[in-house]
Amino acid sequence: MSFETFRGASHRSEVDVIVSLFQKARSRAMNNIEQSTWGVCYIAPNYVLLKGLVACDVAYVVDTVKANEVVAAASDFNTMFPVVIFLQLSGSTDETTVEVKQNARTSTISINEAGTIIW
């Protein structure tokens, strides 16, 4: 396996992790788990699943997933990763995008106002 193949797999894996967290948060919000909104944000060095919030704050952390530090740095997640909050029952949210970068690769994850995750 070449390094390029490895980097491609690493990049796709990071996109999958982020999409999975968005899907988990949206599913919990739509199913009204704990009668709360659910969201995802980035608090270095982790992606964070949040419950019942309007901002990215450690007080609302339910779960964390370690981010690939190379991808997080290349994508400037410290400043560019949006706080995505899915509303109860509807799963709707503010329209947003996340650009995942690594070397020459860029993937875009889009979320529309209805909460649909497109990658």
Domain count along the chain? 1
Tell me whether the omega of the peptide bond preceding residue 82 falls within 30 degrees of 0, making it cis.
no
Instruction: CATH number of the domain at 91, please.
Output: 3.55.40
pLDDT tens digits for 72-90? 999 999 999 999 999 999 9
pLDDT band at 4 (very low <50, low <70, confident <90, very high): low
pLDDT tens digits for 14-72? 999 999 999 999 999 999 999 999 999 999 999 999 999 778 998 999 999 999 999 99
pLDDT score recorded for residue 8: 67
Its pTM surpasses 0.85: yes
Q: In what order do the strands lie in the sheet with 46-51?
A: 61-66, 46-51, 38-43, 84-86
Residue 87: domain span: 3-118
